[in-house]
Amino acid sequence: QLVSALHNLTRHVVYRGLTRAEDILSLFPENFHQNLKNLLTKIILENISAWRNEAQASQISLPRLVDMDWRVDIKTSSDSISRMAVPTCLLQLKIQEDVALCGNSPVVSALTMELSKETLDTMLEGLGRIRDQLSAVANK
Amino acid sequence: VSSQQFSALTEVLFRFLTEPKEVERFLTQLSDFATMNKISLGPLKNIVKSILLVPNGALKRNLSSEQVRADFIALGLSDEKASYFAEQWKVNSPTLTRLAVGQTLMINQLIDMEWKFGVTAGSSELEKVGSIFLQLKLVIKKGSQMENVYIELTLPQFYSFLHEMERVKTSLESFS
């Protein structure tokens, strides 16, 4: 019962985003033991940003990108042409499924794809537009 | 086969080679040619088949138009017709080469990318969040099927992704 109460208290503090000692102190009932109240508040304040970050990290979300890797190959021949020099890019994305669903054993899958130069140019164009929009939003 | 008929036939052939998906149109044009010139379709098809072998082999071995002309003469074609064919070959070979390169094996080709970004307003854990996320949808061709992949990136991840992709572009450009 004690643990559950403590748990509720900390969840409430994290949910509301309370950062000031007074706010947390005001949560305790009137006749609560003074020193215990201060001690608990102090501990909660110390941990609050770590708890907030963890809560954010374990939110439900679409699968998340965890890592990416690339390499550039040059295709020199194939069964339709015996001599050519076409550069191509191989991109590998490591994707982690929804953290909330996986619990303690997150599933990470690797997705490898091939991009031609044109595809890469188009992609960079799109990414550039995203960057411009982001800076427009940030500057508002 | 008169030289006029030959040039008409060559035209039909090259149009097919540059647009290999237009099989029906090619066959219709062939049978039109046959009826116009009073040649029966069967032997015409055989001749066309053997003629088609030459450009395909030439493409594989990157032959110049001179070599194509020599090949045709070796096969017994008249000088004039061989030169005409070689000319057509020179004109069409960039397109044909590009087509052949396009047909080269590509593993899990990226076809399309869509994106949106927004702000996470709240969640069951945190009442007010206000963090920006970016969602990407990538369409990948796996074998003959399309697969949609959805991923989410944080802002710092997006910036390093952009940075890496720019590095790839520089690398690709230095090789072409």
Give me the pLDDT at residue B26, please. 74
Q: Min CA distance, B87 vs chain A (Å)? A: 21
User: Which two tokens mark A34?
Assistant: 């003074």
Distance from CA of A112 to the nearest CA of B (A): 7
Q: Looking at the predicted structure, is the pLDDT value of residue A65 above 80? A: yes
Domain assignment of residue A128, yes or no = no
Q: Are residues A45 and A79 in the same domain?
A: no
Asked if A71 and A90 count as a contact pair (C-beta separation under 8 A), the reply is yes
Residue B136 or B57, more confident: B136
Whether residue A123 lies inside any domain: the answer is no
Same domain, A54 and A65: no
- Residue A73 sits in the same domain as residue A93: yes
Residue B161 in this model has a pLDDT that exceeds 80: yes
User: A-B interface: how many C-beta pairs under 8 angstroms?
Assistant: 147
Does residue A132 lie within any of the structural domains?
no
Nearest CB among B128, B131, B164 relative to A68 is that of B164
CA distance B82 to B120: 69
pLDDT at position B35: 73
Domain that holds residue A90: 61-118
Q: What percent of chain B is modeled with pLDDT above 90?
A: 5
- Residue B28 pLDDT > 80, yes or no? no
Entry field: residues in chain B: 176
Candidates A100, A110, A97; CA nearest to A64 is A97
Extract long-range pairs of B163-167: CB within 8 Å, 24+ residues apart: B164/A68, B164/A70, B165/A120, B165/A123, B165/A124, B165/A127, B166/A124
Note whether residue A74 is domain-resident.
yes
With respect to residue A129, please indicate whether it lies within any of the assigned structural domains.
no
Q: What would the DSSP string read from start to end of B14-44?
A: HHHHHSTT-HHHHHHHHHHHHHHHT--HHHH
Chain B residues whose beta carbon lies within 8 Å of the beta carbon of residue A130 = 115, 117, 134, 158
Q: Are residues A20 and A48 in the same domain?
A: yes
Residue A85 shares a structural domain with residue A35: no
- What confidence tens digit (pLDDT) does each residue in B106-147 have? 778 888 888 888 777 777 776 666 777 888 888 988 888 888
Chain-chain contact of A113 with B140 (C-beta, under 8 angstroms): yes
- 3-class DSSP assignment, residue B151: strand
Q: Any chain A CB within 8 A of the CB of B19?
A: no
Q: Does A119 touch chain B (CB under 8 A)?
A: yes
CA distance linking residue B51 with residue B30, whole number of Å: 13
What are B111's two structure tokens? 């076809």
Q: Are residues A68 and A114 in the same domain?
A: yes
Residue entry with tokens 């909330």 = A100
CA dihedral A70, A74, A77, A79 (to 10 degrees): 20
Final residue of a structural domain among A9, A28, A58:
A58
The answer to whether residue A14 is domain-embedded is: yes
Q: What angle do CA B134, B138, B140 make, to 5 degrees?
A: 165
Write out chain A residues lying below 8 Å of B98, CB-based.
Answer: none
**Residue B7 confidence (pLDDT) above 70:** yes
* Whether the Cβ atoms of residue A127 and residue B165 lie closer than 8 Å to each other: yes
Residue A37 lies in a domain: yes
pLDDT at B160: 92
Residues A91 and A40 in one domain: no
Residues A51 and A71 in one domain: no
Do A50 and A101 reside in the same domain of the chain? no
Q: Name the nearest CA neighbour of A99 among A56, A47, A68, A67.
A: A56
State the DSSP code for A105.
S
Residue B169, Cβ density class (10 Å: 0-12 exposed, 13-18 middle, ≥19 buried): middle
Is residue A11 in some structural domain?
yes
**Domains, chain B:** 3-105 (no CATH), 108-175 (2.30.31)
The string of pLDDT tens digits covering residues A74-109 is 888 777 777 778 888 888 888 888 766 666 677 888
User: Is A7 in the same domain as A52?
Assistant: yes
Name the domain count of chain A: 2
A21 and A42 share a domain?
A: yes
**Distance from the B88 Cα atom to the nearest Cα atom in chain A, whole angstroms:** 19
Q: Does A49 share its domain with A75?
A: no
Contact A70 B164 (CB under 8 A): yes
Residues of A in contact with B115 (CB under 8 A): 126, 130
